[in-house]
Structure 1
Amino acid sequence: MSTAYRYKLLGGGTYDGSSFRQGFLSAFMIMLTFFGILYSYIDTTDLTECPVYKEEVPKLKISFENQSYENQSVKLKVWDTMDGEGYQFQKEPAPIILDPRFDQLDHLPPCGNLESVLIKKDTKELMENVKKSFLECINPIVQEYKGKPEEMFVDWVPKAETCDKLGIFDKLGVVPFENLHETKWAVLPKCKEEHTLLTLGVGHDTMAEEKFNVTLPNTKFYGADPIIEPNRQMYSAFGKFFPFAIGKQPGFTKFRVLPNQNQKTREYVFQDVTTIPFLYFVNDILKFKRIDFAWIDIEGGEFEFLDQLHQDVTICQFNIEMHMKFRPGDGAQVFSEFIFKVLENQKYVFLKSTHTEVGVHRMFFINIVDKECLAKFFN
């Protein structure tokens, strides 16, 4: 096909090769001139840079105990919480300072096989005297409230704390470990082996566990709480954390919990949480034959398994907070039955009954029967 014919097909009319070449060259020269002018303009003009994007961090305002703190330049630390705001950890870990008792406890004689240890005569006599004095003091008090569980719970602390003044209790060596909001109590061991401390209900507060960790060597910590953060990061710094609640039956249970949020708000809410049976957790997951220390504070969930603390598991000593306030239906009745069963079995003595708030109090129990506990803590 000729050039002239193709030109006609494109609508060019009569083909004139000379005119076409002249037009093409003219257009090309115009384009070169345009780009030359544009380049000259860009080369001689100062361009203003776009401002760098800077994220504005909002002011952080914290209210705590009727006091207000405002920081104009706080950088929020966002980590793996559901709401993006949680417990603010220190930028640098505080130096570890051992308790003066740590070295002494680290040089105790080995415990050996506690099941075969011979309990000394003076240890047996001490436990018998403790039990006798305790029962003589507490039995008349408790009998006044037989059939009156609600009155018993309301009057409990001022009545029960009269027995704390028994002089025989001073020989047990009970020592405090302060938490942020309460005191945990313990009797430290008389021999050296691996110790176990079980925390049921971390509650965004591990101050007492941290103090315990720098006091008693060779302690293994195990903590359970249905709210993962910040409890996981706090407890995992020294122990093993389990993200579920502890109850009597498996499934979902409505628990009063402190949700993922800044600790200073202390706003508890009721949530349906995954629940693991207490005995299954202790016997099958942890595979414990004995618990040396148990700290139980689960906002009313303790009523689910109080009856299992009698004979189904060996606990040498435990702190527990009773929350009848959050179990108004049968909490007082469950507590009353538990106390009467404790006095019937005569396995534990209890002391340090203290109010936390209306309808809530704490107690400390010591096992004075099981041989391993006596050998480890009193022999």
Structure 2
Amino acid sequence: MITSMPYNRLREAILHKRKLSKHILVAMVLISSMLLLINIMQDSNEEGDDVPVEGTPTFKAFYNCVYPKLASLRGNYEMFWTSFVNLTKECDGLEEYKALDIQPVANTDEVKYVAFPKRDENITMVTLGIGHDVDAEMRLKKLWPKTEFFGVDPSPEINKDLYEVKLGGNYFQIAVSGKGGMQKSYIFRKEYRDEATMHIGADYFFGDMLQKPRVDILWMDTEGNEFPVLDMIHRGGPLDQRGVTICQMNIEIHKDLMKDITGEREKFHDFVWKLLADKKYIMVKPFYVYWFHQFIRTVIINVADPECTNLYMN
């Protein structure tokens, strides 16, 4: 069949256009598939933050009890702060916790909790924020004489003699927080007041000054400077990088304590969720304090590192 030159060119153009459209369609399908796969992987990673794929039986028991109670409050900082204690204290009686010998140790105006060793061994105890009171440390010393004490407080009045003379411990006149330098602290002299004091980073204190690879007990009441320290305890964080393991902590979580410290409820919320993702610690004995300033007391116990579990759980 004979056709004209213009007709042949038109036919070729149409065929070329169809082939080009087909290639474009295939490319669009491939790109759409890749984007869908990326979204699925991202969603899977986000869900993985909520679902522990590993962890000790004690951590899993803690997670399985605490997570369902807190999940609906994720992102609601106010409700998370006000509801945390009442919701999580219901988990304190878990069967898995019976591996820990947790006993109360009373201070003048509060009760600390200590998980005691399962074998006769020397332990290290650090107090960040002495606050003119070592009654709990004195009781701990009687219960476990093989305890070496280290106290940190920027105010030496009363604190230095209490910790060195009465307790027989070691005293440091500094404040421990996230970084070094002169910073504002809320300290107790005859009364609480704002004051510029010398700070050092917690990673430097534990790694270079204290030089104890295992801190058995940490009591922290630093009146608003606790979050920079807590940020360092996470898995793979600055303390892990320094080779420092902390086995248990009694901490006070403050909010609205100093005018220039804001967002404490959000920081607490984010800290708890990151703690759950760490698969390293459990939180027990939560207590909400309403007087003076609102704050939360809780105990954090390392149930992942063998240095701690071999001594306090086996």
Whether TM-score is above 0.5 comes out as yes
Q: Deviations over 1:34-74 (max 9, x none)?
A: xxxxxxxxxxxxxxxxxxxxxxxxxxxxxxxxxxxxxxxxx
Task: Tell me, in whole angstroms, the C-alpha distance in 1 between the residues paired with 2:121 and 2:59.
Answer: 27
TM-superposed deviation, 1:256: 1.0
Alignment of 1:104-115 (within 5 A): none
2:208 equivalent to 1:284: yes
**Who is 1:76 aligned against?**
none
RMSD between superposed Cα atoms in Å: 1.5
Aligned residue among 308, 314, 317 for 2:245 = 314
Aligned residue among 302, 305, 309 for 2:226 = 302
Aligned residue among 286, 292, 296 for 1:361 = 296
Letter in 1 for 2:233: L
Letter in 2 for 1:280: Y
Detail structure 1 runs of 4+ shifted over 6 Å in the superposition.
none
Q: Is the 8 A contact 2:70 2:84 kept in 1?
A: no
Alignment of 1:40-55 (within 5 A): none
The structure whose Rg is larger is 1
2:271 equivalent to 1:338: yes
2:179 equivalent to 1:246: no
TM-superposed deviation, 1:193: 2.8
**Structure 2 residue matching 1:236: 3-state secondary structure:** helix
Aligned residue among 187, 193, 199 for 1:257 = 187
TM-score, L = length of structure 1? 0.63
Q: 1:184/1:218 Cα in 2 relative to 1: closer, same or farther (>3 Å)?
A: same
TM-superposed deviation, 1:297: 0.6
Task: Tell me, in whole angstroms, the C-alpha distance in 2 between the residues paired with 1:142 and 1:325.
Answer: 23
Aligned residue among 189, 195, 199 for 1:275 = 199
**Structure 2 residue matching 1:329: 3-state secondary structure:** coil
Letter in 2 for 1:291: V
Task: Tell me, in whole angstroms, the C-alpha distance in 2 between the residues paired with 1:337 and 1:371.
Answer: 26
Aligned residue among 76, 99, 114 for 1:148 = 76
Unaligned runs of 5+ in 2: 1-54
**Who is 1:223 aligned against?**
151
Q: Deviations over 1:189-245 (max 9, x none)?
A: 122332100000000000000011111122110000011110000000220000111
TM-superposed deviation, 1:276: 1.1
* Equivalenced residues, count: 247
2:254 equivalent to 1:323: yes
Alignment of 1:113-124 (within 5 A): none
Task: Tell me, in whole angstroms, the C-alpha distance in 2 between the residues paired with 1:291 and 1:174.
Answer: 17
Q: Determine which structure has the larger helix proportion and give its number.
A: 2
Identity between Structure 1 and Structure 2 (%): 33
**Who is 1:41 aligned against?**
none
Q: Is the 8 A contact 1:191 1:376 kept in 2?
A: yes
Alignment of 1:93-172 (within 5 A): 128-172=56-100
Unaligned runs of 5+ in 1: 1-126, 262-266
Q: Deviations over 1:145-180 (max 9, x none)?
A: 211122211222111211123243234221010001
